[in-house]
Amino acid sequence: MSITLAILILTVLISLQGFKNMNVIERLKHHPWSEHNKKEYYRLLASGFVHANTTHLFINAFVLYMFGMHIESVFKALYGSGMGPVYFIFMYCSAIVVADMPTHFRYKNSFSYSAVGASGATSALVLIYCLLDPWSWFLYPPVPAIIFAAGFIYYSHWADKRQYGDGIGHSAHLFGALYGILFILLTKPVMIMNFVSKIMEGPQWPPPFF
């Protein structure tokens, strides 16, 4: 079984338990006040395996499957069949934690703030994909990956600064995405030249399904 499928199954099982028993979500959710005042730092990671509702879970599960399988295979090619899965697990889990850190410090004295979901990690996966193949086309929205990445980062930053009241953790999206890019560039600096080379090739025509 692939690492991606193992993470996906674990996330679905824990999330389903949370839907049946709210105490599971209460114990695992990202809650800066509890992390800061009660030292429950495990929440920074555990919160990535519970979700608010079935729609939230489906979106993150879908993104994890679609991009995780590809990125996992790339990691095996970059870091070797032995260390590739290790790097993949570390990147995914650390992305959840890193994506939660800004809100941890922002809301550490606010008892009312909490968040759940793997959006930080899934955002990291998507942006790594964009870095590896910047001119590949997204089906939705129908734009090249490099354009999607720039728009995603800009909008997440804009919405986070305005604390946009749409119930979406834009801060987690933003910092998860940036972390994904930094992770691959710092652990494999050669990917900088790969990115430049890909960009220099220029855009491609949209595939036939457009």
Give, to the nearest 10 degrees, the angle between helix 119-132 and helix 190-200. 60
Closest-CA residue to 121 (of 171, 173, 170, 159): 173
d(CA 202, CA 55): 37
Task: Give the predicted TM-score (pTM) of the model.
Answer: 0.93
Domain ranges of the chain: 53-107+118-200
Count other Cβ atoms within 10 Å, centred on residue 6.
12
Q: pLDDT (tens digit, 9 = 90+) per residue, 174-194?
A: 999 999 999 999 999 999 999
DSSP 4-42: HHHHHHHHHHHHHHHHH-HHHHHHHSB-HHHHHHS--TT
112 CB-contact burial (10 Å; exposed 0-12 / middle 13-18 / buried 19+): exposed
pLDDT averaged over the chain? Answer: 93
Residue 96's φ and ψ, nearest 5 degrees, are: -60, -45
Closest-CA residue to 187 (of 55, 98, 122, 90): 90
What pLDDT score does 210 carry? 54
Count Cα atoms within 13 angstroms, Cβ side, for 160.
18
Q: pLDDT (tens digit, 9 = 90+) per residue, 113-137?
A: 999 999 999 999 999 999 999 999 9
Q: pLDDT (tens digit, 9 = 90+) per residue, 142-160?
A: 899 999 999 999 999 998 8
